[in-house]
Amino acid sequence: MSAKISPLIYPEDLLKLKASSEIILVDARAGINAEENYATEHLENARYVDLNRDLASVESDPANGGRHPLPSFEKFSEVLSKLGISPQSHVIIYDDKNGSNAAARFWWMLKSIGHKNVQVLNGGLQAAIKTGFPISSEIESFETTRNYPITKWNLALADIEEVEKARNNEENIVIDVRDKNRFDGLTEPLDLIAGHIPGAVNVPFSENLNEDGFYKSVEDLAKKYTEILGDTNPENVIVHCGSGVTACHTLLAMDYAGIEIPKLYVGSWSEWSRNDREMFTQKTPN
């Protein structure tokens, strides 16, 4: 039986694996002009995956599942096949936001369908370039594979009704990983209302990183999340963000620290804030 691999890989280790034909490198940058940026410059041999097109089934109304609902199994299987990914592939994913853009989301999705060998590049694109990993603007060619077999999400998910029940239950913890200003309702760059789910605690995903943009050590992350979770059963912990993407950064950090991966609320604030649920906002009376 093969040993479990770390969810993170350092640029130096990726550089050593560069020549391996077994590695499938995936660029998961997201945001405005992400695909154009990939075409201009990407790590050599990297394939591109698009957050909205490939890693979500974006609906016209985010009230139904948030801004980035998970795709159907059929769609995700097709995406993996087009990327040339099979169950035996060693997949390494990067973005330009230290894993918080879409790399950790893709990691969670692959891990959740039972894929064994998947890692996120610690430090992301910039760290790899700094380490000396070659870059390219070439159109990468690769072979597709037969449809990847997917039957279920193996990692736990929570829906809006479960969050409603959990947020005021002392046996549960609901974690919001957005930055403090968004949690406090001071600013909201993406959704219609600024604020948070009452009863949630704010643990910004940025706190998973050190000053150099790498994930903190296993020991530091384990200490941090053990103190936050206390004796709470991982089954009673729900993690969310704005649309179920950056929450995966914290799920990855927990896995890296040896903590059982808790539930992901994919709809997150983008769904909650559009469903006439109780909300904390700056206009909420004290």
Question: Residue 122 maps to which CATH number?
Answer: 3.40.250.10
Residues 131 and 228 placed together within one structural domain of the fold: no
**What is the span of the domain harbouring residue 166?**
160-272
Total domain count for the chain?
2
pLDDT range class, residue 19, cuts 50, 70, 90:
confident
Of the candidates 197, 209, 241, 247, the residue annotated as catalytic is: 241
Query: 126 with 193, same domain?
Result: no
pLDDT of residue 100: 84
Q: Please write down the long-range contacts of 39-42, taking CB distance under 8 Å and 24 or more positions apart.
A: 39/137, 39/139, 40/137, 41/135, 41/136, 41/137, 42/125, 42/135, 42/136, 42/137
Is 241 known to be catalytic?
yes
pLDDT digits (tens, 9 = 90+) for 222-275: 999 999 999 999 999 999 999 999 999 999 999 999 999 999 999 999 999 999
Reported as a single tens digit per residue, the pLDDT across 43-56 is 999 999 999 999 99
18-21 long-range Cβ contacts below 8 angstroms, 24+ apart: 18/44, 18/45, 18/133, 18/134, 20/90
Whether residue 97 is contained in a domain is answered as yes
Which of the listed residues 136, 171, 192 is the one where a domain comes to its end? 136
The strand pairing partners of 43, in sequence order, are: 135
Residue range 247-258, pLDDT digits in tens: 999 999 999 999
Regarding whether 222 and 179 lie in a shared domain, the answer is: yes
pTM of the model: 0.96
